[in-house]
Each structure stands twice: as C-alpha cells, then as structure tokens.
C-alpha cells in the first residue's frame, strides 16, 4: 500500500511551478535571477528557495529541470489562506501596480507623440501603427485599473508627463519605442518579483500575462527597427514598409 505523505512532507512548490508545463525546458530570460518556462517566468531557485522553502532544491542541468525533495523538518507554507478567501494586496503591491498603471497610460502618450511626428511626414502608415499601439497601451492601463478594483485596493491616478513629438526619422522613433518596451518589461518583472516575495500568487499570475505580452511587443518593435535600418534612405523601400505598417494588426 502506498504511504500517504505527512503534513511535514508536503513540498510547497506552488510558488515555483504554477506553469502549465512545469516540466518543460527552462531558458535564461536575460537576468541572472529569472528563468522562463513556456508559460511562466519563475525565479532562479538558487536565489529564492531559502526564502520560500529552505528544504527544497531544484537543480538545473543542461537547461533541463530536475527536482529533489529533501526531508522536511517543518510543515510547508500553505498555498492559500482558506477556501474562497483571497488576501488583500499589500501596500507595496498597490503602490507598484498604481505606478505601472500610470506607466501604461504614459506609454500611450509616448506613442501618440510618435504618431504626431509621423503625421507630418509622408509616412502615414507608420503613424497609424503608432496610434494603434497607443490604444493598446490604454487597454493595458485599464486592465491594471480593473485588477486593482477587483482586489478592493485603493486607486490613485498620477499626472502624466509631456510626450516627445519630434524625431529625426521613422527609424529614430521606432528605436525609441523599442527602448521604452524594454523598460516596460523590466517594470513588469519588478511587479512579478515583488508579488513572489509577498506570496501573492494571484498577482504573479496577473503579471505573467503582461510578461508574455511584452515578449510580443519587443519582438514586433525590434522587427521594425531592423527593417528600417536595412532600408536606410531608400525611399521606395521606406514607402513599401510604411504601407505594410499601416495594414498591420
């Protein structure tokens, strides 16, 4: 007969392996303290296992995951607070989420500034692309607003700064857009990391949606930077790319 695990032998792996493909290959995500599965950004266990569960160890060999459970000296940290119960957001999480909501709306301003510049050039397709991007950033801000409301957290609306509306070329504008998207990725990772340390697994899942979204955002913007850099000053190629950008999405 199989022996049932005692309460002291339960491994609290929820904080590490909530991904739907927890056994998939792990790849570095550009930071020493983060590793990405196909569905979730998870922390490097070497850095965080002592904080979440000192009796567990995860060994990474050749990019693959091997898990070893040591004997447990004490019961694990419970995954939830109780049936149907969700803990309130901590002050630190509320603060960082409110700031990121402002960042998303500021991002919309940034893209509108780029669109304003491009509208004064022959490249109306690029201007439409920037306008669509601005609208998407507004939706991102609204998504955070709705999450704060759903978690019964206080909401503040910060003032927005002035956006740049002058660039020297479409390439410069797209390079600025790529730099900004990379900053956004770092901000979202900070939210995920804080949610992990606060053991707020709902916010981890919420932030993970944005992390996956940022992979797409960075890729598509980087693709446009590369296309424009390749086109150089060739007007025919630039106009062809402009037409394509206007039809995207």
What is the pLDDT, as a whole number, of residue 21?
36
pLDDT at 249: 65
3-state SS string for 105-156:
HHHHHHHHHHHHHHCCCCCHHHHHHHHHHHHHHHHHHHHHHHHHHHCCCCCC
Measured at the alpha carbon of residue 205, what is the angle toward residues 203 and 210, in degrees to the nearest 5? 95
**91-119 mean pLDDT:** 97
Average pLDDT over residues 9-19: 37
For 69, half-sphere exposure in the C-beta direction (CA atoms, 13 angstrom radius) is: 11
Q: Is the pLDDT of residue 208 over 70?
A: yes
Better-scored residue on pLDDT, 32 or 84: 84
Q: Please determine, for residue 33, whether its predicted confidence score (pLDDT) is greater than 50.
A: no
Q: Give the per-residue pLDDT at 248.
A: 79
Q: What is the mean pLDDT of the chain?
A: 76
Average pLDDT of span 201-210: 96
Position with higher pLDDT, 185 vs 62: 185
Residue 79 has pLDDT above 90, yes or no: no
**Residue 86 pLDDT grade (very low, low, confident, very high; cuts 50, 70, 90):** low
More confident position, 15 or 223 = 223
Across the range 71-81, mean pLDDT stands at 34
Mean pLDDT of 99-127: 97
Confidence of residue 87 (pLDDT cuts 50, 70, 90): confident
Strand runs labelled E in 37-185 = 41-43, 56-61, 64-69
The SS3 of residue 5 is: coil
With 80 as the cut, is the pLDDT of residue 52 above it?
no
pLDDT at 244 over 90: yes
- Determine how β-strand 27-28 pairs with β-strand 56-61: unpaired
CATH 1.20.1260.10 residue spans of the chain: 91-247
Query: What integer is the mean pLDDT of 192-199?
Result: 95
* pTM passes above 0.85: no
CATH architecture of 91-247: Up-down Bundle (1.20)
Instruction: Give me 119's structure tokens.
Output: 């509208």
Q: What is the mean pLDDT of residues 51-67?
A: 37
Query: Averaged over 161-181, what is the pLDDT?
Result: 96
Backbone angles phi, psi at 71, to 5 degrees: -60, 140
- pLDDT over 60 (residue 17): no
């Amino acid at each position: 007969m199989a022996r049932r695990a005692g309460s002291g032998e339960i491994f609290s792996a929820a904080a590490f392996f909530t991904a739907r493909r927890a056994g998939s290959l792990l790849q570095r995500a550009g930071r020493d303290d983060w590793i990405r599965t196909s569905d979730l950004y998870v922390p490097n266990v070497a850095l965080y296992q002592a904080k979440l569960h000192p009796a567990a160890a995860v060994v990474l060999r050749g990019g693959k995951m091997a898990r070893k459970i040591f004997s447990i000296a004490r019961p694990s940290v419970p995954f939830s607070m109780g049936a149907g119960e969700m803990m309130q957001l901590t002050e630190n999480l509320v603060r960082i989420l409110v700031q990121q909501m402002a960042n998303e709306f500021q991002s919309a301003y940034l893209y509108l500034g780029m669109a304003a510049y491009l509208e004064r050039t022959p490249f109306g397709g690029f201007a439409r692309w920037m306008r669509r991007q601005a609208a998407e950033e507004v939706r991102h801000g609204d998504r955070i607003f709705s999450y704060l409301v759903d978690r019964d957290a206080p909401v503040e609306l910060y003032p927005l700064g002035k956006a740049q509306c002058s660039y020297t070329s479409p390439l410069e504008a797209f390079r600025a857009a790529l730099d900004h998207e990379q900053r956004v990725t770092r901000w979202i990772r900070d939210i995920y990391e804080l949610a992990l340390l606060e053991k707020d697994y709902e916010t981890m899942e919420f932030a993970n949606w944005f992390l996956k979204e940022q992979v797409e955002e960075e890729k598509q913007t980087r693709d446009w930077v590369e296309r424009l850099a390749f086109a150089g000053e060739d007007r025919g190629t630039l106009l062809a790319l402009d037409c394509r950008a206007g039809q995207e999405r």
